[in-house]
Amino acid sequence: MQGMSERQYAAHVGLSRGAIQKAKAAGRLVLHEDGSIDAAASDKRRAETTDPSKTRKAPTPKLKPVPEAAVAAVGDTLREQGLSAPAVGGGTTFLQAKTANEVLKAQERRIRLQKLKGELVDRARAETLMFRLARDERDAWVTWPARVAALMASELTAALGDACEVEAALMQKVLEAHVRAQLDSLSEIRPGLR
């Protein structure tokens, strides 16, 4: 055999054997005397006789650049799990990205399971309950001096004797000042839910 068979030539040009048979029947291929295909001459003739609009071009993949935030998130996820992460700007391998994706899916499933079991609570609901509890506590302390001032004044008067009488109104005023100062210092504390 001097040239290529239909199969060999089909593999050479990246077409199906049927397409080569059609080109052969249409006379677009150059054949040797033994019927084998002259590859170089056939390539030239096909290039001259083939309509460029009907040729199939290899699709070029349209790759979008990956945002740096996504690459950083992959690195953060891998580092959280104690795995090796790429240096910033060093490029992430497909395996690293896939590993990070699997880790995130596992974390998401764990959280969903904890919610189903009732081990996790809704953050907004917890903050609302915490705020309500703090407000009720504050209200209880604000009204406390008015409730106990008269009792404390009478106990102090009894303990110090009748010569030193403590007025209930003055006791309430002093207690309110101290309670408000304490509540002001407590209002600076900001509990953070993570």
Q: The whole model's pTM is what?
A: 0.38
The answer as to whether 15 is a domain residue is: yes
181 in Cβ contact with 141 (< 8 Å):
no
What's the pLDDT score for residue 92? Answer: 67
Q: What is the pLDDT of residues 47-66, one digit of tens each?
A: 888 777 776 665 566 666 66
| Total domains, the chain | 3
Residues 177 and 149 in one domain: yes
Per-residue model confidence as pLDDT tens digits over 60-117: 666 666 667 777 777 777 778 777 776 655 666 777 777 778 888 888 898 888 888 8
Query: At 130, phi and psi to the nearest 5?
Result: -65, -40
Asked if 181 and 128 sit in the same domain, the reply is yes
Question: In this predicted structure, what is the pLDDT of residue 67?
Answer: 67
Residues 41 and 17 in one domain: yes
pLDDT digits (tens, 9 = 90+) for 129-159: 988 998 898 888 888 888 888 888 888 888 8
In a domain, 154, yes or no: yes
Residue 22's domain comprises 6-52
The pLDDT tens digits of the residues spanning 11-46 come to: 998 889 998 999 899 888 999 999 899 999 999 888
128 and 173 assigned to the same domain:
yes
1 domain-assigned:
no
Do 77 and 34 fall into the same domain?
no
Tokens of 136: 């009720």
Asked whether residue 60 is assigned to any structural domain, the reply reads no
| Residue 73 belongs to some domain of the structure | yes
Q: Are 103 and 78 in contact (CB under 8 A)?
A: yes
Q: Are residues 137 and 175 in the same domain?
A: yes
